Amino acid sequence: MWYEGGFLDREEIWDETREFFALNEDIKRGFYGIDDPQVLSEAGKVVNNLYGADLDYVMDNTKLPYIPVDIEVPYKDIFEEANHLLYTSCYTAHRPASSGWLSLAIHGMSSVHTNCAEDYNLPESAEEDLSTWTDIAKFCPKTVEWMKEEVEYTAFTRVRFMALLPGGWLGNHRDRDSVKGVGATNIAINNPDGCDMVLGDWGKVPFKPGMAVKLNTGYEHSVWNRSEEPRIHMIFDGAPNDIFKTKVNQSYHKIIHYANMLGS
């Protein structure tokens, strides 16, 4: 089975990460007042006039922990392909300070080069220069077709299936020093009850199957799968097009407007 033997043996969650969950998972914090007036102003310009503002401004400057993106995701088809690849042992262990945290690149430098270029002693430009459809792409044709035909990106670099096995966990960490700006697109392909991603001082990200978000990994975060089934997401790196960026900004505008109305 996919969870038995070798590097897939599960290690007990570290006390530090267990404590992080205990302190943060039940927080339910509102978004009111998190961003300064310039960010709010630029968001309003984007909504009212597509070409009247810098489409990247909100994504580069917001301090929100995540922004949902309204896109159609054929998550059942994608899950069927991603889960089959998991059962046939195609994934690789992704990073230290984790257990049962696995990755597989559909598009990138190779299917098993799931980290950034610098981690492989390559220049930062290598990821953009060398990324292409990997050898694994032919085994998930529905996913690839959706990416090519429907995902509003002008170019992809790393696009990965990310699997967290039952009982698996990713230790609490930050991917960058600043909480200013959102990063990659994270798409929930499934998200079993009992598996949660928690952000420090914010609580759980409310993932459900098919939900896409621009995620702020400048905040300390951790994932813990306390369910009996694997959790599979996709992470998209690359260049979203103007339509995708506009959807992000429209979603941001709705979130802030609603938060300001509630004053929470």
pLDDT tens track of the chain, all 264 residues? 444 444 455 689 999 999 999 999 999 999 999 999 999 888 888 888 766 679 999 999 999 999 999 999 999 999 999 999 999 999 999 988 999 999 999 999 999 999 999 999 999 999 999 999 999 999 999 999 999 999 999 999 999 999 999 999 999 999 999 999 999 999 999 999 999 999 999 999 999 999 999 999 999 999 999 999 999 999 999 999 999 999 999 999 999 888 877 775
Let me know if residue 2 belongs to a domain: no
- Specify the pLDDT at position 45: 86
Which pLDDT belongs to residue 9?
58
Domain span holding position 84: 13-262
Distance CA 30, CA 187 (A): 22
Retrieve residue 264's tokens.
């929470």
Contact 226, 87 (CB under 8 A): no
Alpha-carbon distance 127 to 254, whole Å?
A: 34
Structure tokens at 38: 């310039």
Report angle CA 62, 65, 71 to the nearest 5 degrees.
90
Q: Compute the distance between CA of residue 55 and CA of residue 140 in angstroms, rounded to an integer.
A: 32
Q: Is residue 105 part of a domain?
A: yes
Task: Give the closest residue to 69 by CA, choosing from 188, 162, 155, 164.
Answer: 188
Strands 92-93 and 98-108 turn out to be antiparallel
Q: What is the pTM of this model?
A: 0.94
Q: Per the structure block, which two tokens stand in for 152?
A: 């509003």
Contact between 214 and 261 (Cβ < 8 Å): no
How confident is the model at residue 148, as a pLDDT? Answer: 97
Instruction: Tell me the per-residue pLDDT of 216-245, one tens digit each, with 9 for 90 and over.
Output: 999 999 999 999 999 999 999 999 999 999
H or E element in which residue 44 lies: helix 37-48
Q: Which residue has the tokens 């290598």?
A: 126
**219 lies in some domain:** yes
Q: Closest Cα partner for 91 from 7, 197, 156?
A: 7
Q: Write the single-letter amino acid at 73.
A: V
Q: What is the pLDDT of residue 5?
A: 45
CATH number for the domain spanning 38: value is 2.60.120.330
**Residue 260 confidence (pLDDT):** 77
Q: How many domains does the chain have?
A: 1
Radius of gyration of the chain from its Cα atoms, rounded to whole angstroms? 18
Indicate whether 222 belongs to any domain. yes
173's enclosing H/E stretch is strand 153-173
Question: Does a structural domain hold residue 36?
Answer: yes
| Residue at 38 is within a domain | yes
SS3 127: helix
- Residue 235 domain flag: yes
8: in domain: no
